[in-house]
Amino acid sequence: MCFVTIKIMNVDEQNQTEVKPFIIANPIYDTVFKKLMENRRIVTFFLSTILECPVTAIEVLPQEFTHVKKTDKDGGMVPYSIFRVDFMATVQTGDGKYGKILIEVQKSLGLADVNRFRQYLGEQYSKRDLVTVNNGVRELSLPITTIYILGTRLAKIKCSCLKVERTYTDMVENEPVAERDDFVEKLTHNSYFIQAGRITDNRYSTHLEKLLSIFEQSDFVGGNSEVLKEYRYRPDVEEIKIITDVLHEMGVDPEERKRIENEAEFIRTIDDTYGAETRELTETVREQAKLLEEKARSLEEQAKEIAELKRRLTGNINKQNL
């Protein structure tokens, strides 16, 4: 089962009573996250919080991919749709600028995942986007922003929410450039990385920390470590309450729960079948990269030695000619 138990540990200050726990679906699964992104108020809160600016207009673009079937334990075929990109939308921010947002929820990381999304990014850069402006539709090339929600941890990045932002630098004067150019903006992009495995349960003050607490994955309880967790905070922001209400409905609805369980089983099947092979391939590529790097260093040292030998030989010839 793929749902999460929220247990509010704080106390109602007026009634001095403990808030009763309730079940919510785990938003790290594609099926659940897609449901959240269907709620415009949740989307607006999510993007405004992550992007750190007001989002005033949103046009959600449908992103559902090929239907995949697998055999269940009883020999029947279970349908399951893979959402390659969980969310894509064009937005307008408070300063009047338009952009395209891509959100990817990735439970595990491998070489194939990186290459797949690089390919998808290339496709998005090549497309022209339709945007509603003043009740009319215009065709534009929009700047892209990517948001990755990772179920695994990046080895060298310890923070739970990482912002990778571009800067402009005058290389001749070695000074920052404050101005922004539309041509440059459309050929480069900012990225945000949320590491669910690094979200801690002891920070709940800012809107960002309250949003991240929904994705916290380390406080699981019960027999299946992927199923239940204790959530230690009272939702004190209206949007957070809306999010937990949506997740609660999915967690208690038998049909919704079955869909989530099918996805979890599908992921486990894929990981059992291809996970070891993918991890082995990724490790092989890393080892080959190390060998190539060492070989490059060796060739560089040899080139330096040859250059030094040539310099000495030239010096000796010049001395003999004198």
Which has the closest alpha carbon to 214: 202, 228, 199?
199
Here the tokens at position 290 are 């190390």
Q: Which residue carries 């999460």 as its tokens?
A: 4
> What CA–CA distance (Å, rounded) separates 145 from 243?
23
> What CA–CA distance (Å, rounded) separates 247 from 107?
18
Give the H or E element holding residue 220.
strand 220-221
* SS3 call for 181: coil
Q: Are 101 and 91 in contact (CB under 8 A)?
A: yes
Residue 272 DSSP symbol: I
Asked whether the predicted pLDDT for residue 148 surpasses 60, the reply is: yes
Mean pLDDT over all residues of the chain?
78
> Helices (H) and strands (E) in the chain — how many of each?
8, 16
> What CA–CA distance (Å, rounded) separates 69 from 213?
33
Burial of 196 (0-12, 13-18, 19+ CB in 10 A): buried
Greatest alpha-carbon pair distance for the chain in Å reads: 103
Q: Residue 228 CA to chain centroid, in angstroms?
A: 22
78-110 pLDDT, tens per residue? 554 444 456 888 898 888 889 999 998 887 666
Could you give the C-alpha distances from 211 to 53, 162, 295, 322, in angstroms and in order?
15, 14, 47, 80
Comparison of pLDDT for 134 and 38, the residue scoring more = 38
Q: How confident is the model over 53-69, as a mean pLDDT?
A: 69
Which has the closest alpha carbon to 80: 260, 284, 305?
260
> pTM for the complete prediction?
0.73
